[in-house]
Amino acid sequence: MYGSYTGRSRPRGRAAAGFRVTGTAAVCAALLLAGCSGDGDSAPVVGQQPKEKDPYWVNPDGSAARQVAAYEEDGDQEKARLIRKIAEQPVGEWIGPDAPENEARRVTEAAAKADRYALLVLYNIPHRDCGQFSKGGAADGNAYRSWVDGVAKGIGDRPATVILEPDALLHLVDGCTPQEHHDERYALLKGAIERLKKQPATKVYVDAGNAGWQSPETLHEPLWRAGIEKADGFSLNVSNFRTTAVSTEFGKKLSVKVGDKPFVIDTSRNGNGPYEGGDPAETWCNPPGRALGEPPTTTTGDERVDAYLWIKRPGESDGDCKGGPKAGGWWPEYALGLARATK
């Protein structure tokens, strides 16, 4: 099974759909989840980070923020304090398969209203995830093109950064995606970059896996074929655990092979690096003992690294392994473990 080696599984659809909240604030959280944020009597439990440090939008109604509210409602201030480590940081908004224009507009309008940038993750390529925990995706190439077009229209002229199709390119390289789908996937990735870049304030980073998956020598030609020259750069370590130092070294080697393109690194859960023990599957599916990594920022101190981002939403499951909910479901126990392990 390729998942044992490739290193991750993805949220399917809107991750909030799997949200579980403990305590008497469950009804309130359910209302928020439905989009009924109330009558304005209660203020959000989290605000925005300083723009000069991190210009990305913190969702005040995210799963972690709702969990903080639930713990505070129950008087459990210690757990609320721990989950705040997640809730107060901007995380990626994974655009679901349905109504992409409306969803992209909702997120980018909320971000623009807060004078911040939206961070969007597009994960809907046909034949996604090779039948593993996050299998699915658009029905065919035409459906995918229409979906991307909807996302682009929803973004409009508002500032947004798009992480394009985690794993899609790497599953071509490692053989997970059958050969008969390769030409179409390359064309879809290239077309998605071209369509998204028609939006005046949109940046696009095409996913390039992680430092433990493939080598720069095997990745640069596929990246060129996927249209990296028209993208703003590439992303690394999405939903994975490779350290920032290792990811940076890997990214620089790859960068010089793709026109010196910069890159972003997912630092959401890499604070303790990758899991080294047990079943190989444990290295990527809800591995124990992991920690939050560097907080999101565009001030990385390295000209090749555009940002540290939390692309994978910490506290959301990789899949229904080790007692976790389905991929993308909020898992408060795992979120607490990440926060407790963070120095």
Residues of the chain with pLDDT under 50: 1-41
129 is catalytic: yes
183 is catalytic: no
Whole-number pLDDT of residue 23: 42
Is 91:310 a contact under the CB 8 Å cutoff? yes
Token pair 């309130």 is found at 28
**Closest among 196, 200, 209 to 266, alpha carbons compared:** 209
CA atoms of 310 and 298, how far apart (whole Å): 12
**Given the residues 207, 232, 306, 318, the one annotated as active site:** 318
Q: Judging by beta carbons within 10 Å of its beta carbon (0-12, 13-18, 19+), is residue 225 exposed, middle or buried?
A: middle
Whole-number pLDDT of residue 153: 98
Q: What's the 3-state SS for the chain?
A: CCHHHHCCCCCCCCHHHHCCCCCCCHHHHHHHHCCCCCCCCCCCCCCCCCCCCCCECCCCCCHHHHHHHHHHHCCCHHHHHHHHHHHCCCCCEEECCCCHHHHHHHHHHHHHHCCCEEEEEECCCCCEHHHCCCCECCCCHHHHHHHHHHHHHHHCCCCEEEEECCCCCHHHHCCCCCHHHHHHHHHHHHHHHHHHCCCCCEEEEEECCCCCCCCHHHHHHHHHHCCHHHCCEEEECCCCCCCHHHHHHHHHHHHCCCCCCCEEEECCCECCCCCCCCCHHHHCCCCCCCECCCCCECCCCCCCEEEEECCCCCCECCCCCCCCCCCCCECHHHHHHHHHCCC
Q: Looking at the whole model, is its pTM more than 0.85?
A: yes
- What structural domains does the chain harbor? 3-21+88-340 (3.20.20.40)
266 is catalytic: no
53: tokens are 């440090």
CA atoms of 294 and 311, how far apart (whole Å): 12
Whole-number pLDDT of residue 131: 66
**Given the residues 167, 207, 232, 306, the one annotated as active site:** 167
**Given the residues 54, 129, 232, 306, the one annotated as active site:** 129
313 phi/psi in degrees, rounded to 5: -85, 110
